[in-house]
Amino acid sequence: MVTGPATALSNATAAAATAMVAPIVGGGSQGKLPHAALLRYEELQQLKREAHASYMLVMEELFELRQERTLLKQTIIQRKSVHGIEDGHPALATEANRMAAIDRRLPSLQKRHDNLQPVWAEIAGLTGAIDDWLRAAPAGLTVYNGPAPTLKAKETLPQAVERCRRRARELDADLQKYRAAPITSAKAKELIRAEIDRIAAAGEPDLTNLVDYGEGIHWPVQAIAGVGYKLSGKGSVGPHTAFDGLAVDIWRNRDAYIARLEQLFNEKYADDSSALDDADRARLISEAERDLLAAAYDEESFIRTSEEAGLAIQRRRDAPPAAVLGVEVEGAV
| Tens-binned pLDDT, residue by residue, of the chain (333 aa) | 444 433 333 343 444 444 444 444 445 788 899 999 999 999 999 999 999 999 999 999 999 999 999 999 999 999 999 888 888 888 899 999 999 999 999 999 999 999 999 999 999 999 999 999 999 999 889 999 999 999 999 999 999 999 999 999 999 999 999 999 999 999 999 999 999 999 999 999 999 999 999 999 999 999 887 655 555 555 555 568 899 999 999 999 999 999 999 999 999 999 999 999 999 999 999 999 999 999 999 999 999 999 999 999 999 999 999 999 999 987 665
- Nearest C-alpha neighbor of 175 from the set 6, 83, 289: 289
Do 332 and 320 contact (CB within 8 A), yes or no? no
What distance in Å separates the CA atoms of residue 247 and residue 32, rounded to the nearest whole number? 53
Please check whether residues 12 and 132 belong to one and the same domain.
yes
Q: What is the pLDDT of residue 331?
A: 61
Q: 312 in a domain, yes or no?
A: no
Q: Is residue 256 part of a domain?
A: yes
Which sign, positive or negative, has the C-alpha torsion 40, 45, 51, 53?
A: negative
Among 325, 293, 280, 307, CA closest to 131: 325
Contacts of 259 (CB under 8 A, 6+ apart): none
Residue 265 to residue 243: CA distance in whole angstroms: 29
Of the three residues 269, 298, 325, the one that is the final residue of a domain is 269
59 and 127 within one domain: yes
d(CA 330, CA 333): 9
Number of structural domains in the chain: 2
Predicted local confidence at residue 85, as pLDDT: 87
Q: 131 and 23, same structural domain?
A: yes
- The whole-angstrom separation of Cα 170 and Cα 319 is 14
Q: For residue 99, give its domain range.
A: 2-137
pLDDT of residue 307: 94
**Residue 50 neighbours by CB distance under 10 Å:** 22
Looking at 249, 269, 289, the residue that finishes a domain is: 269
What pTM was computed for the model?
A: 0.72
